[in-house]
Chain A
Amino acid sequence: DQQVKQNSPSLSVQEGRISILNCDYTNSMFDYFLWYKKYPAEGPTFLISISSIKDKNEDGRFTVFLNKSAKHLSLHIVPSQPGDSAVYFCAAAPPWETSGSRLTFGEGTQLTVNP
C-alpha cells in the first residue's frame, strides 16, 4: 500500500521557468509534510516543510502548497535553475506522538532543468 505517491517519475523544464512537482497521499493521519532533494551518492537534503494547519509555506524560490481535502501537495520552484536538477522526494509523517512520527516517502521525481 503506497501511502505517498509521486506519479511523475521525471520532469523537464527550461531554466527560469516554474517547476511544479506533485505528491498525493492516502493516510488521513499524516499532518506534517516535507520535500527533500537528493543528488546521486548523497543523502537527502531537506528543502521545505508544511504543517497540516497551513495551506502554503514559502522559502525563497520554493513554495509548498497543501490541499488537505484532496490529500495533495505540490512543490513550486520559481525560477528554476540548472542546479535544481535532482531527484525530489515528498514525505509525510503522522503526529509526533504516534510512533515517533516516522516518515513515509514517495517514489521521487527526477527534475531536469535545461539551460
Chain B
Amino acid sequence: SAVISQKPSRDICQRGTSLTIQCQVDSQVTMMFWYRQQPGQSLTLIATANQGSEATYESGFVIDKFPISRPNLTFSTLTVSNMSPEDSSIYLCSVSPGPNYGYTFGSGTRLTVV
C-alpha cells in the first residue's frame, strides 16, 4: 500500500492566519482525499482532489476557506485560511489507488488555533 508523508504533524497558530498542510505519496495515485476530525468526532471529508482539475468540496466546505492544490499525482496541499479556534482539528489526507484497494491515511496534522 502507499506510504504518505504528511507535514506538519502539529502546529499552534494565531487566529486570522493561514496554514498549509502537505501530503507526499510514495507512488502515483489518482484520488486524494482531505478529511477533518474535530475533537471527539468522526472523520469528515472536506474535499476530493484529482490531479489537473479543481477539487470537489463536500457540503459545508468552500474553496476560499480550504484551498487545495494537486500539482501532480504524488503531492497535494490543503490550506486552512483565516483560521479561527473552531478550525482546531486533526486534518488528514488519504489516498486510494483504485476500487477495492483500500485507503491509506497520512499521520495527520493536529492544528490548534489560539
Interface residues, chain A, with chain B CB atoms under 8 Å away: 32, 34, 36, 41-46, 49, 51, 89, 91, 95-97, 99-108
Contact A41 B110 (CB under 8 A): yes
CB distance from A91 to the nearest CB of B (A): 8
Cα(A101)–Cα(B98), bound, Å: 9
Contacts of B108 in A (CB 8 A): 41-43
Beyond contacts A49-B102, A91-B43, A97-B99: 16 other A-B pairs, Cβ-Cβ < 8 A, are: A32-B100, A34-B102, A34-B103, A41-B108, A41-B110, A44-B92, A46-B105, A49-B100, A91-B103, A96-B98, A96-B100, A100-B48, A101-B99, A102-B33, A102-B45, A107-B41
Nearest to A51 among chain B residues (CB) is: B100
Contact A99 B48 (CB under 8 A): yes
Any A CB within 8 A of the CB of B73? no
Cβ-based interface call for B51 (8 A): no
- The smallest beta-carbon distance between A9 and chain B, in angstroms, is 9
Q: How many Å lie between the Cα of A37 and that of B106 in the bound state? A: 13
Shortest CB–CB separation between residue B54 and chain A, in angstroms?
14
Which B residue's beta carbon lies closest to that of A95? B99
Within 8 A of A (CB), among B76-114: 92, 94, 96, 98-100, 102-108, 110
Given A96-B98, A96-B99, A102-B48, A43–B42 Cβ distance below 8 Å?
no
CB-defined contacts of A91 to chain B, threshold 8 Å: 43, 103
Most chain-A CB neighbours within 10 Å: which of B4, B92, B103, B108?
B103
- The CA-CA distance from A35 to B48 in the complex, in Å, is 21
Whether A105 touches B43, Cβ cut-off 8 Å, given contacts A41-B110, A44-B92, is: yes
CA distance A108 to B38 in the complex (A): 13
Instruction: State whether B104 touches A46 (Cβ < 8 A).
Output: yes
